[in-house]
């Protein structure tokens, strides 16, 4: 499901560090050399490169990258080079501090990661920012969104396959009742969405569909401009169909008056080692055009090159 292409014979870490150092020296930065190394190493390999680079040259690789490259290319390279948990911590911090109702990074981190991955993100957040994630979410997010997002990012859900079918049946009725009454921020809706396991939630959403003859997300479209309803739909879609959820994020990022590079970069860098192949297939099916072609049309130069590399383009 991942699109990341790692060579069958990976060079020694010392050689990768030497190649990166070479890319930074001389007249101008060799961006293609940076891509050829970092965009074709998995998380453990990138971690080893960062450690070895610092030991060899007395300088953090991320600082060297920050000095040598700039703009949207820099952001893509830096986010990709970070450990997945550290990357999510950075994305969560950015969204919490500059929070707006249409933001989706916090929802994706809370709902499209495993419980253990979310726990690792919260630990990485402590280490990097010397505060807790929930502390910053509570400080910067307001109203019903705070009521929803604080328990969402602090959840440590059960991750097993067991399902209580009678509970799914009863809680789907609760959800339907509250949604019918337009009580979208009711404590019961928030309790169910922020505490139940993924398997239990899927059973509940299936029960909702069986009992009321349409998916729960349809009933949450009463007002397409209501960002709180949009957030509830995003939470549900991250659990039920993450590939189609992320396809839509990319489609919207590429389909506006200008390209939303932040959203595009976030999805590509966070899903390349997870399920980007499924997202590519969903994009092709929905838009009748390969994702690679759509990205090549809307991006340029080194930024285009790193995105296409992470999408699995030949190198």
* Residues 6+ away with beta carbon under 8 Å from 28: none
Model confidence pLDDT, tens digit, residues 283-310: 999 999 999 999 999 999 999 999 999 9
User: Is 312 annotated as ligand-binding?
Assistant: no
Mean pLDDT of the chain: 96
State percent of the chain over pLDDT 70: 99
Angstrom distance (rounded) from CA 168 to CA 124: 34
User: Is 119 annotated as ligand-binding?
Assistant: no
Residue 86 phi/psi, 5° resolution? Answer: -65, -40
Per DSSP, the residues of 138-207 read HHH--HHHHHHHHHHHH-----SS---HHHHHHHHHHHHHHHHTT-TT-HHHHHHHHHS-HHHHHHHHHH
User: Is 296 annotated as ligand-binding?
Assistant: yes
Residue 71: predicted pLDDT: 95
Residue 144 has pLDDT above 80, yes or no: yes
User: Is 68 annotated as ligand-binding?
Assistant: yes
Q: What is the mean pLDDT of residues 154-176?
A: 98
Residue 224: predicted pLDDT: 82
Q: What is the mean pLDDT of residues 165-187?
A: 97
User: Is 314 annotated as ligand-binding?
Assistant: no
Locate 166 and state its tokens: 């009678």
Residue 256 has pLDDT above 80, yes or no: no
Global pTM value = 0.95
Identify the structural domains of the chain with CATH numbers, from first to last. Answer: 13-69 (1.10.220.10), 84-154 (1.10.220.10), 165-240 (1.10.220.10), 243-311 (1.10.220.10)
Q: What is the mean pLDDT of residues 195-211?
A: 98
Residue 246: predicted pLDDT: 98
Query: Is 270:279 a contact under the CB 8 Å cutoff?
Result: no
Model confidence pLDDT, tens digit, residues 7-19: 999 999 999 999 9
Residue 228: predicted pLDDT: 97
Residue 314: predicted pLDDT: 67
User: Is 94 annotated as ligand-binding?
Assistant: no
User: Is 168 annotated as ligand-binding?
Assistant: no
Residue 20 phi/psi, 5° resolution? Answer: -65, -40
User: Is 313 annotated as ligand-binding?
Assistant: no
Widest CA span in the chain:
68
pLDDT-based confidence at 223, cuts 50/70/90?
A: confident
Residue 57: predicted pLDDT: 96
Residue 315 has pLDDT above 80, yes or no: no
User: Is 26 annotated as ligand-binding?
Assistant: yes
Residue 184: predicted pLDDT: 96
Residue 255: predicted pLDDT: 83
């Amino acid at each position: 499901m991942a699109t990341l292409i790692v060579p069958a014979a990976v060079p020694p870490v010392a050689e990768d560090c030497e190649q990166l150092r070479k890319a930074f020296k001389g007249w101008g930065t060799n961006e293609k050399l940076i891509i050829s190394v970092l965009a074709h190493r998995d998380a453990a390999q990138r971690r080893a490169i960062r450690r070895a680079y610092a030991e060899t040259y007395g300088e953090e690789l991320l600082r060297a990258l920050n000095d040598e490259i700039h703009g949207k290319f820099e952001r893509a390279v830096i986010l990709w080079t970070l450990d997945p948990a550290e990357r999510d911590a950075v994305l969560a911090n950015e969204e919490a501090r500059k929070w707006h109702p249409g933001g989706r990074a916090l929802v994706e981190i809370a709902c499209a990661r495993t419980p253990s991955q979310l726990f690792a993100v919260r630990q990485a957040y402590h280490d990097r920012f010397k505060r807790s994630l929930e502390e910053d979410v509570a400080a910067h997010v307001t109203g019903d969104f705070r009521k929803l997002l604080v328990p969402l990012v602090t959840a440590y859900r059960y991750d097993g396959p067991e399902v209580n079918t009678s509970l799914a049946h009863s809680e789907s009725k609760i959800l339907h009742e509250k949604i019918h009454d337009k009580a979208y921020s009711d404590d019961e809706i928030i309790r169910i969405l922020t505490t139940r396991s993924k398997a239990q939630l899927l059973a509940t959403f299936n029960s909702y569909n069986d009992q009321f003859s349409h998916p729960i997300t349809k009933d949450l479209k009463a007002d397409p401009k209501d960002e709180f309803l949009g957030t509830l739909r995003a939470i549900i879609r991250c659990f039920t169909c993450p590939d189609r959820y992320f396809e839509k994020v990319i489609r919207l990022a590429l389909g506006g008056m200008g390209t939303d590079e932040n959203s595009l970069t976030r999805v590509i860098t966070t899903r390349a080692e997870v399920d980007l192949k499924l997202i590519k297939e969903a994009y092709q099916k929905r838009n009748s055009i390969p994702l690679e072609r759509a990205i090549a049309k809307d991006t340029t130069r080194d930024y285009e090159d790193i995105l296409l590399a992470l999408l699995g383009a030949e190198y």
